[in-house]
Amino acid sequence: MRSDNVKKGLNRTSHRSLLRACGLDDDDMKKPFIGIANSYTDVVPGHMHLKDLVEVVKEEVLKNGGIPFEFDTMAVCDGIAMNHEGMRYSLPSREIIANTVESMAMAHQFDALILMPTCDKVVPGMLMAAARLNIPAIVITGGPMMPGKLNGEVIDFINVTEAVGAVQSGKMSEEELYELECAACPGPGSCAGLFTANTMACLTETLGMSLPGCATAHAVSDHKVEVARQSAKQIFKLLEDDIKPSDILTQEAFENAIIVDLALGGSTNTTLHIPAIANEVDDVDVTIDLFDKLSHQIPYICSIRPGGHNHMIDVENAGGIPGVMKNLESLMHTDCMTVTAETVKENLEDVCDVNYDVIHTIEEPVRDEGGIAVLYGNVAPNGCVIKQGAVNEDMLVHSGPCKVFNSEEEAVVAIENDEIIDGDVVVIRYEGPKGGPGMREMLNPTAAIMGRELFHVALITDGRFSGGSRGPCVGHISPEAAAGGPIGAIKDGDIVSINVPERTINLEVDDAEIQERLKDVKPVERNLKGWLRQYQQLATSADKGAVLK
């Protein structure tokens, strides 16, 4: 066993002495050591229930003859970190999480890992660590929260963010907003729509790193408890058969994940996280170009919030991710290995109870193309992304005058002062991985625009978007302004044209003029210290997954 490095032989006597202080005896020294990476915290709704769920996992590990060692890693709630300096730490936390899990697993030589994430950066961070370590591992994502209810309507967190803009523009009273605030998030779990956390859970299951049904098993459900119990039991099968992440995280598995992502209309943050996970695996090549190639081939078959009206509970009741994959089976690589110790094809053999009103067939999709599109042009030579599944048909092609801001805060003030009108293109720059630093999510500006019912305003940024953003929002513009990207040359009044069907985004200014303007651009400087300063020095661009180099 790998753990023999810390518990076997004369030279490990002192190690055993310390392990005995943790409560182990002679028999325990003969058992596999199972590391349990728990991201429990009191301040994040998606993680608060993991304190209880981990006890189920530890009990099952003991029952099956292993020794569970729980350790904690961090979790940032993007909703709470939104629209202030704290959001700069959200994306960088992914790297801390990956490094924490790697450090604990290497220092203590665990034989296998059970990973328990829920929210946006924690899921990819733990998957990055699993790929890097390449020891048997299984993921138990924490599960969605139930949607809220108010006056007979089903609601969620995004209703609240957009309602703030409605109040500011006089379309809703503060009393109505308060009722919404109190009802939208009724308990533990990741926010109830197909935002980033739930998208990543769905893709973890599709990759084969969590058990079928795990992604949509809700945080407070008996189903989630049973999935956790079965996952803890299954880690011993992975150990016995020596099935490691490298056996599961293949090129074909990543393509499957992108196929499901496009079919669901998932968060654009996946174009950061999937390449970042793939970056940890040898002989795998995943870029945003792969997303774009597949987006022309894969239909959008699930209309889930924010792009539609359904919530994750509807997907769970309709058949979950196994139901989605069953409908996409003819388009997927079905010979991929999974943590069930069986292939995708074998996992799908008994899947038959699918609600086609929620999970459409590929013959009768919601839309013919996948939910994410990658655009190129003189604004974004290295590409940018848009969640086309959450854009109204009449805004898939748009051209308008720019209103340019060098930070999220500046843009929000202009929106709140009614300086943005229908037809405008809002430009927010110096919010990329280096320029931010940390590539903040622009949920507040997009929600403010939608709350004011400015449905014909586009927003482009070298920052990124919450999985809950909707509308013509173009993010991840690469190169970013801080790296000398052309977005830094845009001036107020310039015309930017966006054509999603043709996959283009262009500034209607001569290329020579753009280059001349860039000579005079002075990047925004920030007084940084600590972790953010280190991150800024190491972060790559969004089209590379914003990984550290």
Catalytic residues: 466
Cis amide prior to 437 (ω within 30 degrees): yes
3-state secondary structure of 322: helix
The contacts of residue 23 (CB under 8 Å, 6+ apart) are: none
How far are the Cα atoms of 62, 312, 410, 487 from residue 516, in angstroms, in the given order? Answer: 67, 49, 26, 13
CA distance 536 to 516: 27
Distance between CA 233 and CA 229 in Å, rounded?
Answer: 6
How many other CB atoms sit within 10 Å of the CB of residue 357? 10
What is d(CA 87, CA 269) in angstroms, rounded to the nearest whole number? 14
Q: What distance in Å separates the CA atoms of residue 168 and residue 161, rounded to the nearest whole number?
A: 12
Known binding-site residue numbers: 78, 120-121, 441
Q: How far is CA 518 from the centre of its chain?
A: 33
The per-residue DSSP string of 166-211 comes to HHHTTSS-HHHHHHHHHHS--SSSB-SSSSHHHHHHHHHHHHTSS-
What is the CB neighbour count within 10 angstroms for residue 362?
A: 15
Binding residues for Mg(2+): 78, 120-121, 441
Cβ pair 137, 113 in contact under 8 A: yes
Of 59, 236, 273, residue with least CA distance to 138: 236
Q: Establish how many alpha carbons lie within 13 A of residue 214's alpha carbon, considering only the half-sphere containing its beta carbon.
A: 30
> β-strands 495-499, 397-405: how paired?
antiparallel
- Whole-Å CA distances, 281 to 254, 304, 341: 11, 31, 20
Tokens of 507: 């500034």
